[in-house]
Amino acid sequence: MDQEIAFLIKKEEQRQNDNIELIASENYPSRDVREACGSILMAKYAEGYPYKRYYGGCEYVDEVETLAIERAKALFHCNYANVQPHSGSQANYAAYHALIPNGSKIMALTLNDGGHLTHGSPVSFSSATYRFCFYSLGEDGRIDYEGLQRRLYEEEPDLLLAGYSAYPFSIDFKRMRSIVDKFNLDKNKHCFFMVDMAHIAGIVAAGLTQNPCDYADIVTSTTHKTLRGPRGGLILSNDLELGKKINSAVFPYTQGGPLEHIIAGKAICFLEDSKPEFKDYMARVLENTKACNDELSRLGCRVSGTENHLFLLDVLSSYGLNGKEAETKLGEIGVTVNKNMIHDDTLPPSKCSGIRIGFAAATSRGASLEDAKGVARLIDACLKGKESKEELINRRKAIVSSWADVLSL
């Protein structure tokens, strides 16, 4: 009945259908997930955990949350899961609190090289609550494991954090675990190892990269990126005693009542992600991302290369544009990206030298390898400015013409 909101929802639906969404942290959940998230479960307060609530009438949401927990554990082959965090940021906050006291030192990837706000940004709670030190990527833009080990011994942190928001390559979690173990032995310390796998969780679930749950003390994630679930957070571990601390850190320390309608959506996505079709989907995401990266490289652009669902395009050296300018130009023709810092960036975060490109959302709608190459050519033509806006829009329309409607997924 609210026509103003209905109008805006319809406009956003149209935008998503018309545009090519290349933001690496976005995806389209299934109709089943969306229906659960809009269900009457949203009316139920359920502070606490299944069968240990502070409210009555929780017998059915207890079953919903238990299903979500068991499916998450099965999907990621671990012994413990907390499905209550409202976001990845809150999952990280709770995980830090469960592992180390306030004021402890955390070592994370420098933000300019692909870290996250909650990994020590000066504007985040993380830097206000903990002391951060950083390691950097190597000259090739990849994790320098030997350099990371040197930094670990120099800084002697209480927690090593891995997992990134703009890193296009595979991560050797097993090697990181061995580095931490050797450090702890040599220094007679207990440095924890935590992984934020928000971006690559779907790749992990599909078995197409190392599972950090096999190596980290705690693994955090979002559920709405490559997992194709609702917006929310997730915490995993194989340490059941640590799980008790995580539970207390989520509720009551960082959150009140859980969002049981969102938890139902998480349960559905965990089931969907356990099926062979999801592994096939993730394989196509990786293929499409590489095809777009390689086509831009063939066209003479400076790209990062990729081994996952995203890559970075250096628009400053490739086109003489900063990231904000490139994001705006592409947005004008219906290609949605975000500006992003690149390794050794010389521009401030408000401008950046690059853009981040991901293919999880486009692949959900049915993008093919040829479409991915066509997207690369469209990006190149747009940023070179040698075709009219109308011509570029027509090219974009031709690419998406065969893709699925976002509400049909």
Distances (CA, A) of 88 to 37, 120, 315: 18, 14, 29
* Catalytic pick among 131, 175, 231, 373: 231
- Classify each residue of 23-41 as buried b or exposed e, where b means 16 or more C-beta atoms within 10 Å of its C-beta: bbbbbbbbeebbebbeeeb
Catalytic annotation present for 209: no
CA-based end-to-end distance of the chain: 26
- Helix (H) / strand (E) element for 260: namely helix 260-273
* Catalytic pick among 118, 209, 220, 222: 222
- β-pair partners for 221: 234
Catalytic annotation present for 370: no
* Catalytic pick among 113, 196, 217, 295: 196
The alpha carbon dihedral of 125, 127, 131, 133 has a sign of: positive
CA-closest candidate to residue 192, choices 218, 212, 170: 218
87: tokens are 């976001």
- Helix (H) / strand (E) element for 76: namely helix 59-76
CA 146 remoteness from chain centre: 26
Catalytic annotation present for 290: no
Phi and psi at 28, nearest 5°, equal -115, 115
* Catalytic pick among 71, 225, 356, 395: 225
Q: Are 268 and 32 in contact (CB under 8 A)?
A: yes
To which residue do tokens 């018309």 refer? 18
Residue 205: Cβ-neighbour burial (10 angstroms; 0-12, 13-18, 19+): buried
Please list, in sequence order, all residues whose beta carbon lies within 8 angstroms of the beta carbon of residue 404, skipping any fewer than 6 positions away.
364, 365, 366
* Catalytic pick among 34, 45, 49, 105: 45
51: left (phi over 0), alpha (psi -120 to 50) or beta: left
Please list, in sequence order, all residues whose beta carbon lies within 8 angstroms of the beta carbon of residue 128, skipping any fewer than 6 positions away.
none
Q: Are 339 and 330 in contact (CB under 8 A)?
A: no
Residue 20, classed as helix, strand or coil, is strand
* Catalytic pick among 26, 47, 70, 387: 47
What is d(CA 200, CA 218) in angstroms, rounded to the nearest whole number? 15
Catalytic annotation present for 196: yes
Report, as residue numbers or ranges, the catalytic residues: 45, 47, 196, 222, 225, 231
